[in-house]
Amino acid sequence: MHPTNNSLDMKVIQLTAFGDTHHLSAAEFPIPQLRLGEVLVQLKAISINPIDVKTRAGKGISALIKDRLPAILGWDFSGIITAVAPDVKTFHPGDEVFAFISFPEPGQTYAEYVAAPADQITLKPANISHHQAAAATLAAMTAWQALTRYTEIKAGDRVLIHAAAGGVGHYALQMAKYLGAHVTGTSSKENETLLRDLGADEYIDYKTQAFETAIAPVDYILDTIGGDYIDRSVKILKPGGTIVSIPSGLNESVTEKAAAIGAKGHTMKAQPNGKDMNTIAYFLEKGIVHSHVSKTFAFSEMAQAHKLIESGHTVGKITLTI
Ligand SMILES: NC(=O)c1ccc[n+]([C@@H]2O[C@H](COP(=O)([O-])OP(=O)(O)OC[C@H]3O[C@@H](n4cnc5c(N)ncnc54)[C@H](OP(=O)(O)O)[C@@H]3O)[C@@H](O)[C@H]2O)c1
């Protein structure tokens, strides 16, 4: 099943080998054939994440795809449905949709078209741009799943969010506020205004303040850094509190380190899920959560976009126009 245009090929950015950004290049691939349960989406905007960059460099999910190069990376998109598989009744051609798809398998969103599982996508609110929607995907899903599957945040609970200016962190800050928490966010001084605008009750400049002595003990911590941040973070966790740590490869000891002070520690992996996407769409539509898109690139500028993420100092999200 193909879209109603004359070309059966589409432009993609392919990864031909693991390593530097010069292994990312423009190519033409066949437009995906739909399988049952899928919709074909013509992409308008995509966002990228540290996992894209780690995978390109030979970490991340590279082991999963090493025998399948060249590969198309990317998990996040917003676009317009051009065709649906015969069994898909919930979406129709012309619907504007966005999602985080297929993870940890390649979502293949560095492309003009993607075949997306219908049970992982949601309708884009009409008052939200494709870029705002494409941003609120893997990162927003991670934040929401971290806060709702591993914590029981209630009004007044104290929450610390590391890297609250980053992709995951800036959504987590807003979502923790929505859940009624008293939220502290960390970032460098340049991003203090952003954090306060997003609702942070307390702010820590991690470059000039030791966060573990800067605030009173907290009930919950979202750790986006790993390593010794876990050792330092558990020092300000209340007994019985919870730390959720997301950087795979840097957080495997979090459970035992938390247990040592009578707290709970979890690692997690974000999972594509249409129900959670619906919640995020609702948050965007109602203005409960805002995507801070700090930079937008052309599709042909994928290498520059990867380098910005690789710097470790992306503010909010970056997106690309397809
Ligand atoms: N397990 C999962 O399912 C999952 C899902 C998503 C992401 N992750 C992982 O989680 C991590 C964060 O992802 P992300 O998308 O949020 O990354 P990101 O957007 O690239 O994070 C960049 C932000 O980190 C901040 N930052 C850097 N070092 C910091 C520090 N020491 N203290 C406080 N802030 C610091 C920077 O702020 P300044 O510029 O102000 O320094 C910048 O705003 C990555 O390792 C990613 O791979 C895991």
State pLDDT tens for residues 171-212: 999 999 999 999 999 999 999 999 999 999 999 999 999 999
pTM value > 0.95: yes
Q: Verify whether ligand 1 is closer than 6 Å to residue 248 (CB atom).
A: yes
Tell me the two tokens of residue 214: 């800067």
State pLDDT tens for residues 218-275: 999 999 999 999 999 999 999 999 999 999 888 889 999 999 999 999 999 999 999 9
Which pLDDT band holds residue 7 (cuts at 50, 70, 90)?
low
What integer pLDDT is reported at residue 3 of this predicted model? 47
- Residues 156/180, Cβ–Cβ less than 8 Å: yes
CATH topology match: 9-138+271-321 vs 150-267:
no
Q: How far apart are CA 224 and CA 227, in angstroms?
A: 10
* Residue of the CA atom closest to atom 12 of ligand 1: 224
Q: How far apart are CA 61 and CA 227, in angstroms?
A: 20
Q: Verify whether ligand 1 is closer than 6 Å to residue 145 (CB atom).
A: no
Q: How far apart are CA 269 and CA 104, in angstroms?
A: 9
* Residue of the CA atom closest to atom 43 of ligand 1: 166
* Domain extent listing, the chain: 9-138+271-321, 150-267
State pLDDT tens for residues 93-136: 999 999 999 999 999 999 999 999 999 999 999 999 999 999 99
Q: Verify whether ligand 1 is closer than 6 Å to residue 309 (CB atom).
A: yes
Tell me the two tokens of residue 267: 């690692």
Q: Verify whether ligand 1 is closer than 6 Å to residue 194 (CB atom).
A: no
Tell me, in angstroms, the distance from the centre of ligand 1 to residue 213's CA: 22
Candidates 96, 81, 67, 79; CA nearest to 39 is 81
What integer pLDDT is reported at residue 6 of this predicted model? 47
What DSSP line would sit under 35-82, residue for residue? PTTEEEEEEEEEE--HHHHHHHTT-TTHHHHTTS-SB----EEEEEEE
**Contacts from 297-303 at CB under 8 Å and sequence distance 24+?**
297/321, 299/11, 299/13, 300/26, 302/13, 302/21, 302/24, 302/48, 302/110, 303/21, 303/22, 303/24
Tell me, in angstroms, the distance from the centre of ligand 1 to residue 27's CA: 30
Q: Does 3 sit behind a cis peptide bond, omega within 30 degrees of 0 on the bond before it? A: no
Query: Which CATH architecture is the domain 150-267 placed in?
Result: 3-Layer(aba) Sandwich (3.40)
Q: How far apart are CA 95 and CA 166, in angstroms?
A: 30
148 pLDDT more than 70 = yes
Mean pLDDT of the chain: 96
Q: Verify whether ligand 1 is closer than 6 Å to residue 137 (CB atom).
A: no
Query: Which CATH architecture is the domain 9-138+271-321 placed in?
Result: Alpha-Beta Complex (3.90)
What integer pLDDT is reported at residue 251 of this predicted model? 85
What integer pLDDT is reported at residue 145 of this predicted model? 98
Tell me, in angstroms, the distance from the centre of ligand 1 to residue 235's CA: 21
What integer pLDDT is reported at residue 313 of this predicted model? 92
State pLDDT tens for residues 40-75: 999 999 999 999 999 999 999 999 999 999 999 999
State pLDDT tens for residues 151-182: 999 999 999 999 999 999 999 999 999 999 99
Tell me the two tokens of residue 138: 């893997």
The percentage of residues in the chain with a pLDDT greater than 90, rounded to a whole number, is 96
Burial class (CB in 10 A: 0-12, 13-18, 19+), 202: middle
Alpha helices in 66-184 (DSSP H): 130-135, 138-149, 167-178
Q: Verify whether ligand 1 is closer than 6 Å to residue 305 (CB atom).
A: no
Longest dimension (CA), the chain: 63
> Of all atoms in ligand 1, which is nearest to the CA of residue 162?
33
Q: What mean pLDDT is predicted for residues 144-153?
A: 97
Three-class SS of residue 118? helix
